[in-house]
Structure 1
């Protein structure tokens, strides 16, 4: 999906070529393109609810080595947050001898910054060192407010939970289903995760299972048993769950719940036509 380029207005009385300044939440200045006198901020979009993707300025970042791909995946799992260098080195220790892990980390960061520099292109004042930023004790992937599918998932799920609490099952079902539809596969699919990343994936999987259960309850409360059974079958056949994982088990439990609810429903009474015949 394309990176978002968010327009920013020129300062009053200026010629339109001076950025108004970075948001207070960012420690590094965002990047800008200058077009028709209006600066546009360059953002990073991140997807981890499936095969991980990082997109800078509309350009997918392709990591040049397995080590740099792994580092990028770990940083993408926690965007805009400092990931300790020790965590990144421990993750890389699965690929290189432990005594070489920190050196491999520095090399991976340098190569990733080279790819970010290519994506930024000419005319940007945002540097690769601002995108993949060094922080005391670690590194941070600065999205500059770009889209992140995990944040979208959390927003939709939160709205769905709040709708459930106030008894608005229609709204809850819609928002929770939107949250589920953001998943295109197992979280961080294809990454040989170490201990830290496995814990992060487990948290995401647990959130997905919780949303699935609440969505099924909302649909049942609306009496949409048949529609829910069909939707669950589609989700199970979509290939977005990890084989043997908690999500597929939750789908089976939801299907059993629908079947049980269907059996508990009262049988329809005789039709007026049938009564008239008798």
Structure 2
């Protein structure tokens, strides 16, 4: 297995970190370790600097962007000097824990680039980098029709999440935007992975997971549609109808809205035992133009 790669359905293979290699996690509470040594700062502002640099991994974050994140619209006159102190403290912590010299940390890990900073983490030891790598592999497999490999890659990517990204960091506008983009990516990946599992015939295996997810996300129509289909294909027709009516009740109670026409079509198909339910799509999968997959017009498309 190439260095930094991970098994399709598992977590990264662990090895002892060499000098300078950090174990970094942002898909949940922020965590930076080297071996057993903690690098994550306890003070809020250095933690904010670290979080924004990690969320922009390998990209330069300009000094004005960091100052704006730390103080929003009212930075003090000493903001630039204070930022330099926070970066200095981070570099010293990295020097202490990694065994690298301060010059090596400044050159190779927490770099000054023009009017900004860039943080570089070794591939394979950073959950966000691993997540993006697995997501790309899953998307490639999905577009070429390899549904089983795509589902495995997406499942491994989702297993990296331990909660909301940088959940313990007080966000400003930039961290909030990065976290929102990551959360949308996670939800889309989950939608695709459930859809792939349904197409692979794993409807029974999905029931427990979907029961929990639909309780947590009470208004997500795609998720409820997938649950209705999984229940129906598993022989639980009454429960499938109950799942639809629970969603309808929640939507009416909170927003005065009816479910989408497509979800109502799904409900009608359950009532009439329509065979389209054995092959219906909830979330259309992207595919390359050369791949010719059949369409099912009655319910094809996104709810």
TM-score (norm. length: structure 1): 0.69
Indicate the SS of the match to 2:96. Answer: helix
Corresponding residue of 2:53: 75
Distance apart, 1:94 and its partner CA: 4.6
CA deviation map 1:42-94 (0-9, x unaligned)? 32332111111122455321314211111111111122221111111111105
Preserved CA contact (<8 Å) 2:91 2:110: yes
Partners of 1:78 and 1:105 in 2: how far apart? 17
CA deviation map 1:143-181 (0-9, x unaligned)? 244522112111212222222222222222211111111
Task: Label 1:222 to 1:151 Cα distance change in 2 as closer, same or farther (>3 A).
Answer: same
Report the aligned-residue RMSD: 3.1
The 5 A counterparts of 1:1-278 are 41-56=19-34, 59-94=37-72, 97-121=75-99, 127-130=104-107, 131-145=109-123, 147-234=125-212, 248=217, 253-260=222-229, 262=232, 264=269
Aligned residues: 225
**Mind listing any 5+ residue stretches in structure 2 that lack a counterpart?**
1-11, 238-268, 276-303
Distance apart, 1:220 and its partner CA: 1.1
Corresponding residue of 2:297: none
Partners of 1:260 and 1:61 in 2: how far apart? 46
Preserved CA contact (<8 Å) 1:232 1:251: no
- Larger strand fraction of residues: 1
Partners of 1:255 and 1:182 in 2: how far apart? 24
Preserved CA contact (<8 Å) 1:47 1:148: yes
Bigger CA drift: 151-160 or 95-104?
A: 95-104
Bigger CA drift: 72-81 or 87-96?
A: 87-96
Preserved CA contact (<8 Å) 1:83 1:140: yes
Partners of 2:202 and 2:180 in 1: how far apart? 30
TM-score (norm. length: structure 2): 0.64
Task: Label 1:260 to 1:236 Cα distance change in 2 as closer, same or farther (>3 A).
Answer: closer
Preserved CA contact (<8 Å) 1:3 1:45: no
Partners of 2:42 and 2:203 in 1: how far apart? 48
Partners of 2:222 and 2:160 in 1: how far apart? 21
Partners of 2:114 and 2:102 in 1: how far apart? 23
